[in-house]
Structures are given as C-alpha cells and as structure tokens.
C-alpha cells in the first residue's frame, strides 16, 4: 500500500535539492565582478559561462528526463548532485576563461538539469489532488537559493578570494545534495506497470512521438522559452545593475534576496490559484504581468525602489514557472512526464541562456542596462500571446496515465 505521507518527503527533498543546485549555479552573478577584477576577464566573457550553462541545461534536460522515466529519479539526481559539487571545485581552479566557461558552463549547467525535470516529474506523479500546490512548494524550495546560497556566496567572497569561496560552496553542495538525493523515489503509480491486455482494454495511449509532435507540446516549449527569456536578463544582471547605480555589493545582493523571498510567496500563491482557477488561466495572467514587471526596472535607481520592483517581479515570474509542469501533467501520460517536462525545461534553459550574454553585451556597448529591460518587456508580451493559444487535449485525444489516489 502506498504511504501517502511520503509524498511530502519527496516535495521537501525536491525543494532542497533544487535550492542547492540552483544556488550553486547562480553563485556566478554574485561572484561575477570579483572574478572579472581578479582575472582580467571581461564581464561579458565571465557572464557567458551562465549562457553556456543554460545551453548545457537545454541540451541535457530531455536526456535526464528520459533517463528518469526509464531508471527512476534516484540515480539521475544522485549523479547530478555529485557532478555539480565536483564541477564547482574544478571551476575554482580554472586558469583561463575558456576553461572556466567549459567547466562552469557545460558541467555545472548540464548537471543542474539532472535535478529539475526528474524531480518535477516525480512530484507530479506522487500527487493527484493539490498538484499545483505540491509542484509550487518544490519550486519555492528552489526559490530559496537567492536567500540562502547567494548571501552565503556574497559573505564568502567578502572574506575570501573567489576561488576559495567557490571551493567552499562545492563542499556545501556535496554535503547536502548527496544524502538528500537518496530519499527520492519513483511515483507509486509507475511501480506497477499495466499488462498489455489491460492497456488494450483501456485503449491505446498517446505515444511519445505523438506527444512531442503535438501542438500542445510545441506551445508549451515556445511559451516557456519566451517566458524565461523575459526574466533571464533581469535576474542575472540585477546585482550588476544595482552596483552600476552606486549601490554597494552587499546591499545589491539583498535585492536579489528580496526577489527570491517574494518569489517563494509567488510560487505558493500561484500554486493555490492554479488548483482553484486552472493552471492555464493563472499562467496567462502571470505572463502579462511579468512583462511589465521587467519594464519597471528601467525607472529605478535607489535601493528602496529596487526592493519594490524586485519584490513585484520576483513574485510574478517565480509564480508562473511551476505551472508549466502542472499543464504538462494535465495533458500528457505520467509514464513520459520526465521527457515532456525535460522538453519544457530545455526550452526554458534556452530562454535563460539569452539573458546573461545579452545583458553583458548591452552593458558593454551602452554602459547602461535600460535596453535590456525594454527588450525583456517586449519578449514578455510575446510569451503572453503564445500562451493564449494553448488548448488542452480532450479526453478523446489522449488518455492519461493512472493517477495516484
């Protein structure tokens, strides 16, 4: 008999794993200026490691997701945990920009992808009711990174050089992620596979090829790409933007933390609203609001104003992100959830990859971030318009996998 209480252990494990993994990767925005000053590498060059990281996430997300469908999530997230920790340690010893970009970008980024899609797929399989809330709680855990790992990185780099700071972070990552990954389990609904005869009686389910060619999947990919492209630049460059406005680095990092704190609230609120009003309706409204939240950064210069905009923007963009996994679970069979969510993660990672390099190029060219936020606003409106075209599958179009009671 399924122990339904254990599903909350899965939620807690997913949130903690995501927090530390994302925190390890997103330590780069905090360490960006110290790395550039110490090595002489350009801001664009260093920040491009994040772009490479998101590209690596994109290229590996569906692979990790498919492996989790076949092998279960535990071996996948355990492998990712080990590689993230080892990659941070190796990146701290890089002596050239190319080596740093490869180790931090390809290895850290690729390994981080082993956490998101497998955990989201696992959680959607453990829950039938309150699915939006459960996924949002995992996402909220991931959103803890700006309030935990980022301040830790800022404190470390204030007392040590960036290399030592990154080495300490690698130890923290290994000490937390490896033990927690051992708690992850496959959803009970997938433990017992239906026989061929049972499948025939229920009718032929949607094949993976059909799912990946469907308009619903394509729209989810496009929406997530433009959604992430909208908030990528503002997220990655907010600290540098604040510093360029004369705000000290420690205070600038607190802006990032405020954004993360608001994002936690946004994930929970949007999750509750998704359960009550429907995931698509809430997602569409959130995407529209996100576009104008990004634009608001153009008008701020003082710390207090940064806090207000960061809280608003973080609340909105973080709240929308878990809803993609909910829409995926509502429209595609559970047995392919890792692949489908991995696909949406791939699209989101490609969108995220645009922000670091675009922001760096804009700042290096204009000595201002204004056009970054204006461009984010336009891209955000595009995400909103694409999401409006999403039409859920009818029951006749696809049969869902067995749900957890």
Query: Mean pLDDT by 10-residue block, N- to C-terminus, for the chain (405 residues)?
Result: 73 92 88 88 86 86 90 94 96 93 93 90 84 84 78 89 94 96 86 43 63 90 94 86 86 84 87 87 95 93 93 92 87 86 86 80 82 92 94 62 39
pLDDT at 329: 84
pLDDT at 316: 94
Nearest Cα residue to 258 out of 273, 238, 281, 272: 238
Q: Look up tokens 């050089």; give the residue.
A: 161
List the domains of the chain with CATH numbers. 9-186+206-387 (1.20.1250.20)
pLDDT at 395: 59
CA distance 348 to 286: 16
- The answer to whether the beta carbons of residues 46 and 97 sit under 8 Å apart is yes
SS3 content of the chain, % helix, strand, coil (to 5): 80, 0, 20
Q: Give the chain's end-to-end CA distance (angstroms, integer).
A: 11
CA distance 264 to 315: 7
Q: What angle do CA 241, 242, 248 make, to 5 degrees?
A: 135
CA distance 278 to 266: 16
Tens-digit pLDDT profile for residues 380-391:
999 999 999 998
Count the alpha carbons within 13 Å of 182 in the hemisphere toward its beta carbon.
Answer: 5
CA distance 234 to 5: 38
- The answer to whether the beta carbons of residues 320 and 290 sit under 8 Å apart is yes
pLDDT at 381: 96
Percent of the chain with pLDDT over 90: 40
- Which of 11-27 are b and which e, b meaning 16 or more Cβ less than 10 Å from the residue's Cβ? bebbbbbbbbbbbbbbb
Contacts of 49 (CB under 8 A, 6+ apart): 28, 100, 101, 104, 105, 356
Longest CA–CA span in the chain (Å) reads: 69
CA distance 372 to 361: 10
């Amino acid at each position: 008999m399924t122990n339904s209480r254990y599903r909350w252990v899965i939620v807690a494990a997913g949130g903690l794993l995501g927090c530390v993994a994302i925190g390890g990767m997103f330590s780069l925005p905090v360490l960006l200026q110290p790395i550039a000053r110490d090595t002489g590498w350009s801001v664009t060059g260093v920040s491009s490691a994040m772009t490479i990281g998101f590209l690596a996430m994109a290229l590996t997300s569906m692979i990790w997701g498919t492996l989790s469908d076949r092998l279960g999530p535990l071996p996948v997230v355990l492998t990712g945990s080990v590689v993230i920790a080892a990659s941070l340690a190796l990146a701290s010893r890089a002596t050239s920009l190319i080596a740093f970009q490869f180790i931090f970008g390809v290895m850290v980024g690729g390994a981080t992808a082993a956490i998101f899609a497998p955990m989201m797929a696992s959680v959607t399989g453990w829950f039938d009711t309150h699915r939006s809330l459960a996924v949002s709680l995992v996402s909220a855990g991931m959103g803890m990174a700006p309030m935990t790992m980022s301040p830790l990185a800022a404190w470390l780099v204030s007392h040590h050089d960036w290399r030592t700071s990154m080495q300490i972070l690698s130890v923290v990552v290994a000490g937390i992620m490896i033990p927690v990954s051992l708690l992850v389990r496959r959803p009970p609904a997938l433990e017992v596979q239906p026989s061929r005869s049972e499948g025939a009686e229920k009718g032929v389910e949607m094949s993976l090829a059909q799912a990946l060619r469907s308009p619903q999947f394509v729209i989810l990919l496009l929406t997530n790409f433009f959604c992430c492209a909208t908030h990528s630049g503002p997220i990655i460059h907010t600290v540098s933007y604040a510093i360029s406005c004369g705000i000290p680095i420690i205070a600038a990092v607190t802006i990032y933390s405020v954004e993360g704190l608001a994002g936690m609230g946004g994930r929970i609120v949007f999750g509750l609203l998704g359960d009550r009003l429907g995931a698509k309706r809430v997602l569409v409204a959130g995407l529209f609001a996100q576009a104008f939240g990004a634009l608001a950064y153009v008008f701020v210069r003082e710390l207090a104003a940064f806090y207000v905009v960061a809280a608003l923007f973080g609340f909105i963009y973080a709240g929308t992100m878990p809803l993609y996994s909910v829409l995926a679970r509502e429209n595609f069979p559970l047995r392919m959830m890792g692949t489908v969510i991995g696909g949406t993660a791939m699209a989101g990672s490609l969108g995220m990859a645009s922000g670091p390099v675009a922001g760096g190029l804009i700042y290096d060219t204009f000595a201002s971030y204004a056009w970054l936020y204006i461009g984010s606003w336009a891209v955000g409106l595009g995400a909103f318009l694409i999401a409006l075209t999403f039409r859920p599958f009818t029951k006749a179009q696809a049969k869902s996998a067995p749900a957890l009671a």
